[in-house]
Structure 1
Amino acid sequence: MRGVTATLLPPGTERGPRRWPFIGNLPAFARDPLAFFESLRDGYGDWVPWALGPQRNVLVSRPEHAGELLGSVEKTFRPTELGWAFRQLLGNGVVVATGADWRRKRALVQPAVRPRQVRSYAATMVECTDALVRDWAEGGRIDVHREMAGLTQRIAVRTLFGSDAAGREAPISAAMATAQRELGAEFRGLTLFLPPWVRTPGRRRMRRAVDVLDREIAHVIREHEAASARGAERDDLLSRLLAARDEHGGPLSRKELRDESITLYIGGHETTSTTLTWAWQLLSAAPAARDRLAEELDRVLGGRLPTYEDYERLAWTRQVVKEALRMYPPVWLISAVAGDAASIGGRSVPAGTAVWTSPWSMHRDPRWFPDPGAFRPERWDADAGPLAVEQAWIPFGGGPRACLGARFALVEAVLVLAVLAQRFHLDSGPEPVAVFPGLTLQPAGPVPATLRRP
Structure 2
Amino acid sequence: MNQMKYRIEAAQRGCQPAPTLRSNNLLGTSRLTESIRATREDRGPQYVISAMNELGDELGKDVHTMRVPILDYELLVTRDPENVKAMLSTQSQDYDISSTRSNAFMPLLGEGVFTSRGNQWKHSRALVRPQFQRDEVTNLEFIERHVRTLLAVLGNKIGENNWTHRVDLQPLFFYFTLDTATEFLYGQSVGSQASIANGRKTTTGIDGAAFSRNLDAAKHFVDKRGALGKFYWLFPHRRQMNQHCKEIHEVVDGMIQYQLNSKRNPLSSEEKGNRKFVLLDELAKETKDLSELRNETLHTLAAGRDPTASLLGWTFYMLARHPRVFDKLRSLVIEEFGDINSTSHTLDYNRLVKCDYMFHVLHEVLRIVAVIPMNERVALRNTTLPRGGGKDGSYPIYVRKGIQILIPAYAIQHRPDIWGEDVEEFRPERWETHRIGWEWIPFGGGPRKCLGQRFAFTESAYVVARLLQRFDKVENMDPVKEIKLHTAIENRSGTGVKVRLHAAEMEED
TM-score by length of 1: 0.88
> C-alpha deviations, 1:50-73, integer Å up to 9, x for none?
135543111111112111111267
d(CA) in 1 for partners of 2:494 and 2:466? 26
Using the TM superposition, give the Cα deviation of residue 10 of structure 1 relative to its aligned residue in structure 2, in angstroms: 5.7
State the 1:177 CA deviation. 0.8
Structure 1 equivalent of residue 33 of structure 2 = 27
Identity of aligned residues (%): 22
Which residue pairs with 1:193 in the alignment? 231
Deviates more, 1:232-241 or 1:85-94: 232-241
1:133 matches 2:151 = yes
Aligned to 1:427: 475
Paired position in structure 1 for 2:450: 403
2:48 corresponds to: 37
SS of 1:163 mapped into structure 2: coil
Range with bigger deviation, 333-342 or 421-430: 421-430
Cα contact 2:132–2:451 (8 A) shared by 1: yes
2:322 to 286, 289, 310: 286
Q: Which amino acid aligns with 1:322?
A: H
Match of 1:235 in 2: 277
1:211 matched to 2:241: no
Equivalent residue in structure 2 for 1:69, among 49, 67, 87: 87
Q: Kindly name which structure, 1 or 2, has the bigger radius of gyration based on alpha carbons.
A: 2
Instruction: Tell me which of 259, 284, 297 is aligned to 1:261.
Output: 297
Q: State the Cα distance separating 1:94 from its structure 2 match.
A: 0.4
**Residue of 407, 423, 429 corresponding to 1:372:** 423
Q: In the alignment, which of 170, 177, 185 is matched to residue 145 of structure 1?
A: 170
Matches within 5 A, 1:40-439: 40-42=51-53, 43-44=55-56, 45-52=63-70, 54-71=72-89, 75-82=93-100, 84-114=103-133, 116-120=135-139, 122-135=140-153, 136=155, 137=158, 138-140=162-164, 141-163=166-188, 165=190, 167=202, 168=206, 169-189=208-228, 193-195=231-233, 200=236, 202-231=237-266, 234-243=276-285, 245=286, 251=287, 253-303=289-339, 304=342, 306-345=347-386, 346-370=396-420, 371-381=422-432, 384=433, 386=435, 390-424=437-471, 425-429=473-477, 431-439=481-489
Rate the CA distance shift 1:58–1:252 in 2: closer, same or farther, 3 A.
Answer: farther
Letter in 2 for 1:444: G
Q: Residues 115 and 407 of structure 1 are in contact (CA less than 8 Å); yes or no, is this contact kept in structure 2? A: no
- 1:228 Cα deviation (Å)? 1.9
CA distance in 2, matches of 1:410, 1:306: 15
Offset of 1:17 from its aligned partner?
Answer: 3.4
Alpha-carbon distance in structure 2 between the residues aligned to 1:214 and 1:160: 14
Between stretches 418-427 and 407-416, larger displacement belongs to 418-427
| Residues 13 and 336 of structure 1: CA distance in aligned 2, closer, same or farther (over 3 Å) | closer
Q: Secondary structure at the match of 1:51?
A: strand
Letter matched to residue 30 of structure 1: I
CA shift at 1:432, angstroms? 3.9
Total equivalences in the alignment: 431
Q: Do the aligned residues in 2 keep the contact of 1:335 with 1:356 (CA within 8 Å)?
A: yes
Distance 1:52 1:112 in 2: 42
What code does the residue aligned with 2:303 have?
A: G
Amino acid at match of 1:223: Y
Q: CA deviation at 1:429?
A: 4.2
Are the equivalent residues in 2 in contact too, given 1:85–1:203 (CA < 8 A)?
Answer: no
SS at match of 1:266: helix
Change (3 A) 1:105 1:332: same
User: Counterpart of 1:377 in structure 2: which amino acid?
Assistant: P
SS of residue paired to 1:25:
helix
Q: The residue matched to 2:75 in structure 1 has which SS?
A: strand
Cα gap change, 1:52 to 1:444, in 2 (>3 Å): farther
| Distance in structure 2 (CA, Å) of the matches to 1:385 and 1:372 | 13
2 CA distance for matches of 1:252 and 1:344?
Answer: 42
Q: Which residue of 2 aligns with 1:4?
A: none
SS at 2:50 equivalent: helix
Letter in 2 for 1:453: A
Maintained 8 Å contact 1:55/1:354: no
Partner residue in 1 for 2:20: 15
CA distance in 2, matches of 1:38, 1:218: 42
| CA 63–156 in structure 1, closer or farther in 2 if over 3 Å, else same | same
